[in-house]
Chain A
């Protein structure tokens, strides 16, 4: 019986796992980008200046973006698209400054698709739209509404291009690696997706929680992502759910990683990043940061041996 178990085990190890790069591409990346393209197109199609429908469509599109935002490889790397879609963090407030200048100039020529595509990445994408849809001190007006439409159309154009480039090229780059491609073999494509997973988890800990967390003596709640729209925690939840989906597409089952995701997702519900001035809340947020880092640790332990992959030898170093 023992021998039988062992040979069964060896057989399992020798067989390619069902979940792998192809599954991550066909069941995670491609549907994710398709949804991103659909939802941004729906936002861009709204012919209204009323805030409520625009906000609702923007929220739906942002949710879709968080389904793929961690996939920082391929078409989003070109032309600064990842930045132009979501320019955050923005410690110098470049987005706000540039948007104010656009609104003050109120130049209709800026609003053509070609001009929008040439604008600074800081003045485009989801966060430019957030400032327009939840204005703080900018008075709303005809030009602000026209800029909202132009920004939404620019975002939808990028989403459609990225979706098409994944379907017509980058998906095959990942699933059919070879000497002519960017990835020489399947180990390299596994590493690329594994790196995206770990980096995506770390972005939630280091940036989405870590930046507002600051220190106990100096919390920085004003640094939270998407504060005006009230999405700061929602973004963490959506991102973690998408990352869990990617992890399972790469390998299944992942009991330790799942447990770590569950702990972090549960902790999100106890945190309010707007109330970090309260030391009790600060500690809860710090626990959330630790819980998210623990997901990366669990994923490294469970997924790296299963995939025969790891974060790059030099990327993990520093010198």
Chain B
């Protein structure tokens, strides 16, 4: 199989279109399962009572915000090296979803921090580096929007995305490297310090966020493809096809 074929928007557009409904369906299934386990099956926490349940949104959102940035930087770097049109489009399509998750992570963290820690916000290393991540996303989106020529916009954005990668290990290890108000991580590849049902609910919610992120960014990537290649024959054909199918 020739994988390079899918590096062209022309081949990727219909493929993405066929995949999107599946990812939406999986997002719904995992989301419902995660919420059921999280709210109905998992017990309250010994110390935090019912308030800890915001973890089922907070942790998946934080994971996604970091992981999406890595994927975005990967696509941006690939685009910079190989000049693939598609990889720049993917990087661009991921940014708003990543920004949303970063915001969600800060927002839910703030809602959680007030009752448990006693403050909405603290300038602690974990919180501050996550805020910088949100700024990086916003900066990437703004920089790309500010440059009219898409190829120059892609290159400028890609460099910003790559520079920002430094921040990701800082966020992840901040709770290990420094004294922080934020507690250490409960889950890593080797072990978890959460009760099994709680962990199960959180992982299901994380999977739901993954599926959602893939579905949304593929849909956004399709829009960007159409917009950027609107003068080409394949776009005209695709639009004609969709118009016929819609009638």
**A and B from one complex:** no
Binding site for B on A (CB under 8 A): none
Binding site for A on B (CB under 8 A): none
